[in-house]
Homo-oligomer: A and B are copies of this chain.
Amino acid sequence: MASAKLLAAFLAALLAAAGGAGARELKLELPSAETILDDGMPLIHMLRPLLGSGGRLGLRARVPCDSWRFAVETNSVRDWRTIPARCERYVGNYMMGGHYRSDSRAVVDEAIAYAEGLQLAGDGKEVWVFDVDETTLSNLPYYAKHGFGVEPYNRTLFTAYVMEASAPALPETKRLYDRLLELGIKPVILTGRREDKREATAKNLAAAGYAGYEKLLLKPQDVRVHAVEFKSGERRKLEDAGYVIVGNIGDQWSDLLGAPEGGRTFKLPDPMYYIG
């Protein structure tokens, strides 16, 4: 029941956001709440590769959007600032139409199966590292209003959104989080958000139902450090303090690469933005 309520909240946030994005004329095929809740799995929309739609503009322009997504999700394409303009509708459909949720579910199912199969010491030192944006929390209400990554990152607007502390939980991640608490594995939240967003982040996590985590680690305010360096450094500190990182989940490869990675890594989908 809790998960149905969570899903309803997630959907409500998305539908409200999509309504606000109406002027963009994206014509997204939004699933109804009924469709999604009926069998617990949202409708999967067919992909529409935009093959040839851009004409013969060279190889890179001819790559279908789903193959661009493959290359992005496997960390072959890096350091991109926006999604390809021709892929806005594709990414919008992916994010809103259920495919995103289905991919997230496959990853979380595996994470839960892995956690349930662990031989735990139960000494209170076993932790699981969670990223925040597009992992514990979903910023889809924001990105649905901003072209799903087709607009360049706008620090002012995004910061204002973060300060609202209104982001819904990504329901799949919440399911993993709750199961880990049951198993006695403590969540550690590790985010590239900076310290000036600690209060808003803690408030948002609480509102989205995340309670009982061991630590909330944010990036120091004025330190210039890349995500891999910052996050692997924080994981090193955890291990030096006697914690055992049994798992690590995030939407960016910079959440997951760099020793110590954790006992297993789980990559959630995110075709909207890149953090290196």
Chain B CB within 8 A of A156 CB: no
Cα(A268)–Cα(B62), bound, Å: 18
Contacts of A77 in B (CB 8 A): 106, 110
Cα(A51)–Cα(B40), bound, Å: 11
A103 touches B67 (CB 8 A): yes
Cα(A69)–Cα(B99), bound, Å: 12
* Contacts A44-B51, A46-B47, A102-B64 given; does A74 touch B74 at CB 8 Å: yes
Task: Indicate with 1 or 0, residue by residue over A45-66, a CB within 8 angstroms of chain B CB atoms.
Answer: 0110101100000011011101
Cα(A40)–Cα(B57), bound, Å: 13
* Contacts A41-B51, A44-B49, A102-B49 given; does A264 touch B67 at CB 8 Å: no
A70 touches B103 (CB 8 A): yes
Contacts of A70 in B (CB 8 A): 73, 103, 106-107, 269
Task: Indicate with 1 or 0, residue by residue over A111-123, a CB within 8 angstroms of chain B CB atoms.
Answer: 1010000000000
Chain B CB within 8 A of A266 CB: yes
Chain B CB within 8 A of A109 CB: yes
Cα(A75)–Cα(B107), bound, Å: 10
Nearest chain B residue, comparing its CB with the CB of A269 = B70
Contacts of A85 in B (CB 8 A): none
Nearest chain B residue, comparing its CB with the CB of A51 = B44
A76 nearest CB across to chain B (Å): 5
Cα(A99)–Cα(B40), bound, Å: 28
Q: A residues engaging B (CB < 8 A)? A: 39-41, 44, 46-47, 49, 51-52, 59-60, 62-64, 66-68, 70-71, 73-78, 99, 102-103, 105-107, 109-111, 113, 259, 264-267, 269
* Sample of 11 A–B contacts (CB below 8 Å): A41-B52, A47-B47, A60-B113, A67-B102, A67-B103, A70-B106, A70-B107, A71-B110, A74-B74, A76-B106, A76-B265
